[in-house]
């Protein structure tokens, strides 16, 4: 049930990721000593699945492999993994038994029967990185520290309008998907609608499974940032010794500034009409990759006029899709654009390598990464 359209979409999206990735190394730490966690969890379902799939766990190696490596280590396995292709064919043919998938993209293609889908339906299940305690924060909004210092009203206005867009999008996912499709998404309308529903779940639920109220969208959880940073320090491999030392000594204060989002949340929950005085009115944002519902908050903010309401001039062309030769961290760092969307691990790597970026709002509050497996395969290996 392989579909060419599915391969095309996944290849395009992952190509953009590769262009933006600032990571080196694939398998990272390869020690295989069993941890105490492994012994205490030896009879758990996940432990059994990991044992049955030993040597056949896949990942793209583009930044979220650290979650997979942490999971492997948790159950006492070597942290190497199979390099996963940009489609789910390896999963389809059983080359990969535990395959990486984002809940808002690849998992939908695996499960659904619409154009590009593999149509596995309910015959597959997942291992969730959040439930396993090895999750890392993904999509967030950032700029350079220098830009934030020189243009505080611009940053606050952009964050305000963007989060207003995200709140509307999460409450109206069908409409949000249609808006994204209108602005040029290459993803089919059906998959776009799926992506909108699943992206909304990542915005409105935290790593512990708690509901994030719409009044607190974009808030930055220091503990979640710390967990992401800790995993980066343990599994990220940087060839440059200066960068490696900088990563080793990095703290969460080097990653984010929550002043802007705190002010924005207060404004959004008040009855006041905000009055911003942007230092720079014409601003732009670099997405991590294609214009789809993973970024629906920004397209909704544009379409509904939220940027205009706060005194900003943001045009369709100012929301720049990923996929080019310049990654989002580089584009923001060199001033090609003012804002960007990236994973927290991307920003950590970029700053360790000499950039001076800062997170100003955390859009996705939990990891979207899962390992998907076939129920039939699990049952045949005694895992129920």
Pairwise CA distance, residues 154 & 167, whole Å: 20
pLDDT tens for 113-164 read: 998 899 999 999 999 999 999 999 999 999 999 999 999 999 999 999 999 9
Cβ pair 115, 5 in contact under 8 A: yes
Q: Looking at the predicted structure, is the pLDDT value of residue 3 above 80?
A: no
pTM: 0.90
The predicted pLDDT at position 34 comes to: 37
Cα 177 from chain centre: 18
**Domain segments of the chain: what residues?**
4-135+369-380, 140-362
Backbone torsion region of residue 315, taken as left when φ is above 0, otherwise alpha when ψ lies between -120 and 50, otherwise beta: beta
Q: Looking at the predicted structure, is the pLDDT value of residue 19 above 50?
A: no
Tell me the chain's radius of gyration from C-alpha atoms: 20
Beta-carbon-side half-sphere exposure of residue 275 (alpha carbons within 13 Å): 1
* Poorest-pLDDT segment among 174-188, 251-265, 344-358: 174-188
The predicted pLDDT at position 142 comes to: 98
pLDDT above 70 covers what percent of the chain? 88
pLDDT tens for 324-361 read: 667 999 999 999 999 999 999 999 999 999 999 999 99
Most distant CA atoms of the chain, gap in Å:
63
Q: Within the chain, where are the H helices? A: 4-20, 36-40, 45-52, 65-74, 89-92, 106-111, 145-150, 152-171, 173-182, 189-204, 222-235, 241-248, 259-268, 296-303, 306-309, 328-333, 344-352, 375-380
Encode burial over 190-200: b for 16+ CB neighbours within 10 A, e otherwise. bbbbbbbbbbb
The predicted pLDDT at position 43 comes to: 56
Q: Looking at the predicted structure, is the pLDDT value of residue 165 above 90?
A: yes
Confidence category of residue 187, pLDDT binned at 50, 70, 90: confident
pLDDT tens for 297-321 read: 999 999 999 999 999 999 999 999 9
Confidence category of residue 21, pLDDT binned at 50, 70, 90: very low
Q: Looking at the predicted structure, is the pLDDT value of residue 323 above 90?
A: no
Q: 269-275 long-range CB contacts below 8 Å, 24 or more apart?
A: 269/215, 274/157, 274/160, 274/310
The predicted pLDDT at position 324 comes to: 67
Residue tagged 């000499």 (tokens): 354
pLDDT tens for 59-108 read: 998 888 999 999 999 999 999 999 999 899 999 999 999 999 999 999 99
């Amino acid at each position: 049930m392989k579909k060419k359209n599915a391969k095309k979409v996944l290849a395009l999206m992952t190509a953009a990721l590769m262009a933006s990735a600032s990571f080196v190394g694939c398998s990272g730490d390869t020690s295989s000593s069993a941890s105490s966690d492994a012994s205490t969890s030896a009879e758990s379902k996940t432990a059994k699945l990991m044992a049955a799939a030993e040597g056949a766990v896949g990942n793209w190696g583009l930044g979220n492999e650290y979650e997979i490596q942490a999971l492997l280590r948790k159950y006492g396995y070597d942290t190497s993994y199979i390099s996963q292709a940009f489609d789910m064919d390896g999963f389809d043919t059983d080359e990969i038994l535990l395959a990486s998938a984002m809940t808002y993209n690849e998992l939908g293609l695996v499960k659904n029967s619409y154009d590009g889908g593999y149509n596995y339906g309910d015959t597959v299940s997942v291992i969730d990185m959040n439930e396993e305690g090895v999750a890392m924060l993904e999509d967030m909004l950032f700029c350079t520290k220098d830009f934030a210092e020189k243009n505080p009203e611009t940053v606050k206005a952009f964050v305000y309008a963007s989060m207003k867009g995200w709140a509307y999008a999460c409450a109206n996912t069908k409409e949000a998907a249609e808006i994204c499709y209108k602005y040029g998404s290459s993803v089919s309308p059906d998959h776009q609608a799926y992506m909108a529903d699943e992206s909304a779940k990542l915005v409105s639920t935290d790593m512990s499974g708690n509901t994030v109220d719409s009044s607190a969208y974009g808030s930055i959880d220091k503990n979640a940032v710390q967990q992401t940073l800790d995993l980066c320090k343990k599994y990220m491999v940087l060839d440059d010794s200066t960068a490696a030392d900088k990563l080793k000594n990095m703290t969460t204060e080097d990653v984010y500034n929550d002043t802007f989002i705190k002010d924005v949340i207060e404004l959004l929950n008040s009855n006041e009409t905000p009055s911003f005085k942007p230092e720079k009115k014409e601003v732009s944002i670099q997405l991590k990759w294609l214009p789809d519902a993973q970024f629906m908050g920004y397209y909704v903010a544009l379409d509904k006029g939220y940027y205009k309401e706060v005194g900003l001039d943001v045009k369709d062309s100012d929301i720049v899709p990923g996929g080019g030769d310049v990654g989002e961290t580089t584009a923001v760092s060199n001033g090609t654009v003012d804002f960007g969307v990236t994973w927290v691990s991307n920003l950590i790597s970029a700053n360790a390598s000499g950039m001076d970026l800062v997170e100003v709002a955390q859009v996705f509050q939990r990891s979207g990464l899962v390992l998907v497996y076939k129920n039939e395969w699990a049952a045949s290996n005694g895992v129920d």
